[in-house]
Amino acid sequence: MASVKLYKKTGDKKAVTIQTSLENNFGFVPEVFQAMGRSGEFLDNLLKLADAAGKNLEPKTKELIAIAVSAVNGCQYCVEAHRAMALKAGVKEEEITGALEIAAMMSAFNNFNKAIGLKCDIKAKK
């Protein structure tokens, strides 16, 4: 159960219009977009950001990154949602597992390096 009020096509006029479009795309209004649905301005800007982010990446790559970052951030909702979108985009289960392995590995390295305060000595060549 959500810890905030869900606005299922009950927010402002712009929010209702956006949610109707999302409903046509998904077949329902996902709760994440209901939680953001009070303000159409807010919802519209987040959806624009989502569209703009990674515009130069293939959809499969974008979804794998979304899964990996969501896993490290501990957002099960986003892991499951982006897994579904990744599979729809043609990503294989093995690729999803690989992305999660990379996320776990980087999280371990990041935490270790932050804990001991290493200065990075591996640099890109100019």
List phi, psi (to 5°) of 37.
-85, 5
Task: Name the DSSP class of 117.
Answer: T
- pLDDT for 22: 98
Provide the 3-class DSSP secondary structure of residue 42.
helix
- Nearest in space to 19 (alpha carbons), one of 11, 10, 9: 9
Q: Which residue segments constitute the domains of the chain, with CATH numbers given?
A: 1-52 (no CATH), 56-117 (1.20.1290.10)
The conformation of residue 118, written as its DSSP 8-state character, comes to P
What is the residue-level pLDDT of the chain in tens, covering all 126 positions? 778 999 999 999 999 999 999 999 999 999 999 999 999 999 999 999 999 999 999 999 999 999 999 999 999 999 999 999 999 999 999 999 999 999 999 999 999 999 999 899 999 998
pTM equals 0.88
In this prediction, residue 18 carries a pLDDT of: 98
Continuous H helices in 1-126: 13-26, 31-35, 40-52, 59-73, 76-88, 93-116
Predicted pLDDT of residue 108: 95
Distances (CA, A) of 112 to 30, 71, 101, 104, 115: 37, 18, 17, 12, 5
What are the strands, taking DSSP E only, across the chain?
none
Output the pLDDT for position 59.
96
Report the pLDDT value the prediction gives residue 2, as an integer from 0 to 100. Answer: 76
CB 18 within 8 A of CB 46: no
